[in-house]
Structure formats: C-alpha cells, structure tokens
Amino acid sequence: MSSHAKAAEGEAPQFYELVPHHHAPHGSTQIGFWIYLMSDCLIFASLFAIYGVLGGNFAAGPSPAHLFNLQLVAVSTGALLLSSITYGFAMLDMDEGKKTGTLVWLVITGLLGAVFLGLTLYEFYHMIHEGAVPQRSAFLSAFFVLVGTHALHVTFGILWLVTLLVQIGMKGLIPANRIRVQCLSMFWHFLDVIWIGVFTVVYLMGMLR
Amino acid sequence: MSASTSTDTLSPSQKAHAHPNPEVHGDGHDHGTRRTYLIGFALSVVLTAIPFWLVMNNVIADTMIATLVIMAFGVVQIFVHMVYFLHMNTKSEGGWTMMAAIFTIIVIVIALSGSLWVMFHLNTNMMPGHIMNPADLI
C-alpha cells in the first residue's frame, strides 16, 4: 500500500520490499506444517478413492465380514481417541509451563498409540495367517495399502514423540521444543481424523456390504 | 488511495511480525482449554459409539440407509475433531489454515466423487455380461 502512496507523490513505483523486515523465529512453521498435513490428506484421499473403487472386488476371496473383528477395531479406535485427549492435556500442561506434566501426558499418549499400533499389527498378522494377503484380491491390496499407510504414519508419530521426550528431557520446554510439540499435536489429531474415515469406510461399511 | 489507510490494510500476520515479543503475543493458534478438550472427547466418543452399535447389532435393516447414517456420523465427527482438537477457525494464521483446508476439501471431493463415478460407470459399461448377443462379438 505504501508503494501506491509513494507513486502518487511522483516517485518510482516499488513492487517489492527493499527493507528486510523481522520474522519471528518459527513464525511460519505452523502454517508450513499445516500445508504438509493438507498434502498428506490428499495422499489419503487417493487411497480412499482406490479403496472405494476396488473395495468390492473380492476375487472369490474373503470378504470384510469374514475377516474383520469389530470388537478389536472398537478397542483400537478407543485407544486412538483417548490418545487424542491425553495429547490435549499435554498441550495444556505445556502452556502452563509444567515440564513433568507434559512429559507424563506425552508418555501416556505414546503408550496408547503403541496399543493402537499393536492391535493393527495383530490384525494384519491374523489376516496374513489366514491367507488374506495383499496379493489375494484387489480388495485386500487396497485394504493393506490404506490401513498400512495410516499405521506407518502412527509409527512415525510414535518415533517423533519418543524423540521429543528426549529433547524435552534434555533441554526443557524451550521455544523450539514448544513448536515441535505443537506440530506433533497437529499430526497426531490429523491421524485421528484419518482414522475416523478408515473405521467408517473400511470396517463399518465393509461389514454392511 | 491515501497513505493514511496503509496501517489498516496490514494483515494480522504482518501485525504479529511487528510485535516485539511474539512468544507473549501468541502464535495465532488457539490451544483450547481443558473444558473444550473434554467436550470434544465426549462428543467423539458418542459419535464413535453410535455407528459401532448400529453395525454390531444390525439395528438398521436397510443397508443403504445404514451406510448413509454411518457416513453422516463420520463426517460430523471429523468436524468435531477439526474444531475441538485441531482448533480450526477462520482467524488462525490470518485465515490461511482455513483457506488451505477448504482447498484440500474441494480437491478431495473432486478426487473421490470423480473416481467413484467414472470407475463405476466403466464397470457397468465394460462388463462382459453387458453384451447380450454373442453374435455381436464377431
């Protein structure tokens, strides 16, 4: 706007800023991480599209009603939901500057994430044991890619969480660590949002087919 | 356009940059309170439990209606999570998180509905059973 004002006074129009202005450290980290999450969302959208197209092609193999155990899915969904609120409590403790509280809630979050991951791996093991391998049918390929990608995200989320525990333990709640905790918070809640889509489309709608 | 309007047209993020201590000022994100987290959690538990209960007990006999009801619960729960856990609002980062989210939702809707629409029509039109008279194959 100032350039317009100057141009009106007869000076040469200025189309870019010559004077460097101050950016707060990590000032753009959160919006950048949000853009990453949105692009990750598009990966999941394409995997959901694949599952939507191929999810009914059983190739005379097992169907969701044969394979899925809804009680197990309900327990793992509960673990992930609980981990979302325990992460929220970690954020609240961090805002109040409580280092021990933050660490304890983060550890509980990580354990709940590990329970979820363990149940997913148990399900995969059980399915593969029964011969329901990805090569068996288009439905199973799409299933393993979609649920496997989500499980991989949770795995990296837990790795990140453990790294953060060490960093907070060593350096405390410094600004850099606060930003990291906030980014992992977005990542963790985002994975929960994706899981809502997975249990609705894959498990619940699969049982109705 | 006069020079007096120049300060009014600064975006919130530019104003945040000008602030001497951004840590005190906040980062444009609302972290919520214990109360909002508990409300979000209670809502998501209810919104998860109902569709599981519907499917486990075969409450709705009509598969099509049951599918639509479950999908509706899923969509509502996604919005609950975005508001109460991801703290989505129109103000954070000067509105850019919301803009990115809206753009993503548009792309997702196009990708999902387009893929399903095209592929199901393809299946219907290309199935071998579609050719009624074997003489047409020659």
Please write down the HEC assignment for all residues of A58-103: CCCCCCHHHHCCHHHHHHHHHHHHHHHHHHHHHHHHHHCCCHHHHH
| DSSP for chain A, written as a single string | -HHHHHHHTTSPP--S--S-----TTTTHHHHHHHHHHHHHHHHHHHHHHHHHHTT--TTS--HHHH--HHHHHHHHHHHHHHHHHHHHHHHHHHTT-HHHHHHHHHHHHHHHHHHHHHHHHHHHHHHHTT--TTS-HHHHHHHHHHHHHHHHHHHHHHHHHHHHHHHHHH-S-HHHHHHHHHHHHHHHHHHHHHHHHIIIIIIHHHH-
Question: pLDDT, tens digit, for every residue of A99-130?
Answer: 999 999 999 999 999 999 999 999 999 999 99
Between residues 23 and 52 of chain B, which touch chain A (CB distance below 8 Å)? Answer: 23, 27-29, 31-34, 37-38, 40-41, 44-45, 48, 51-52
A56 touches chain B (CB under 8 A): no
Q: Inter-chain contact B3–A2, Cβ cutoff 8 Å? A: yes
Which pLDDT band, with edges at 50, 70 and 90, does B17 fall under? very low
Q: Which residues of chain A have pLDDT under 70?
A: 1-10
CB contact under 8 A, A27 and B27: yes
Q: Which residues contact A170 (CB under 8 A, 6 or more apart)?
A: none
Give the contacts of A144 (CB within 8 A, at least 6 positions apart): A124, A134
Which chain A residues have a beta carbon less than 8 Å from that of B52? Answer: 70, 74, 77, 204
* Stronger pLDDT, B101 or A15, i.e. the higher one: B101
Of B81, B55, B61, B114, the residue nearest A200 (C-alpha) = B55
Higher pLDDT, A27 or B37: B37
B108/A41 touch (CB, cutoff 8 Å), yes or no:
yes
Q: How many residues does chain B have?
A: 138
Which residues in chain B (53-82) have CB-CB distances under 8 A to chain A? 55-56, 63, 66-67, 70-71, 73-74, 77-78, 81-82
CA dist A195 and A60 (Å) reads 28
Angstrom distance (rounded) from CA B92 to CA A200: 29
**Residue scoring higher pLDDT (A55 or B24):** A55
**Tokens 């489309």, residue located:** A201
Q: How confident is the model at residue B131 (pLDDT cuts 50, 70, 90)?
A: low
pLDDT tens by residue, B41-90: 999 999 999 999 999 998 888 989 999 999 999 999 999 999 999 988 88
Look at residue B1 and tell me whether its pLDDT is greater than 50. Answer: no
Which of the two residues, A60 and B133, has the higher pLDDT score? Answer: A60
Do residues A38 and B100 lie in contact, with contact meaning Cβ atoms separated by under 8 Å?
Answer: yes
- Would the pLDDT of B107 be above 50? yes
Chain A to chain B Cβ contacts (< 8 Å): 142
Looking at residue B8, what is its pLDDT?
A: 42
Give ipTM to 2 decimals.
0.85
Q: Are A85 and B36 within 8 A, CB to CB?
A: no
Task: Residue A46: list chain B partners with CB under 8 A.
Answer: 111
Among the listed residues B13, B12, B8, the one whose alpha carbon sits nearest the alpha carbon of residue A2: B8
Instruction: Inspect the interface and report whether the beta carbons of B78 and A197 lie closer than 8 Å.
Output: yes
Closest of A54, A75, A124 to residue B48, by C-alpha: A75
Nearest-Cα distance to chain B for A77, in Å, is: 8
Write down the number of H helices and E strands in chain B.
5, 0
